[in-house]
Chain A
């Protein structure tokens, strides 16, 4: 199993550009989520999904969109990048459908810089 994979590993954008961060898992997990990690802030939840076709907002959803058309994939879209979105983004998945706080498996992260 590859676990949770994320692409790209690094990305530089200009303000106003859009892009999609890819996330995939091969563990047949129902639950997937996106976090951003900023210095001194820990990790904050952006969006999450408890199964294919179901998504919901987390703590900091503004400026981001998600969709979940398959169990395996959970892409994160930046609609119009802003410098405040400079961060490290982590995708995570877990077996449970969100009914309990299950062990989450994290991808290696995408380091995004917005100029």
Chain B
């Protein structure tokens, strides 16, 4: 089937710690992959994306590499800040009713960074 599985939170880290949020997907073919971030009280916004195997998406110090061998798209950041506290969603393109534009989301991982 089509699904996205990401590690459950909440994740609590100290400032400057290393962050990894795991994400794996099931799919036929090679869908586009995304990480979205939702800050408290706001809508989702794109953090980074990758459209083909071995692509690395990066933004604001976050990185994720499209791994077709392991069907994974893990999110990493070398040194988190308090301002990174948010909910992070992994998503993939979904061929639903013939439209590739739709997205299927993971359940989200809440990150809290303590000073």
Contact = CB atoms under 8 A, between A and B. Distances in A.
Interface of A: 4, 31, 33, 35, 40-45, 48, 50, 56-59, 90, 92, 94, 96-109
A107 B49 CA distance: 19
B45 A98 contact: no
Contacts of B105: 35, 42-44
Contact of B101 (A4, A35, A40, A48): A48
Interface stretch (B65-73, B77-85, B90-98): B90-98
Interface residues of B, number: 28
B43 interface: yes
Contact of B100 (A40, A57, A98): A98
Interface of B: 4, 31-32, 34, 36, 42-46, 49, 51, 89, 92-94, 96-97, 99-108
A43 B6 CA distance: 13
Contact of B31 (A99, A101, A102): A101
B101 A90 contact: no
Q: Which of A58, A90, A98, A101 counts the most chain B CB atoms within 10 A?
A: A101
A90 B44 contact: yes
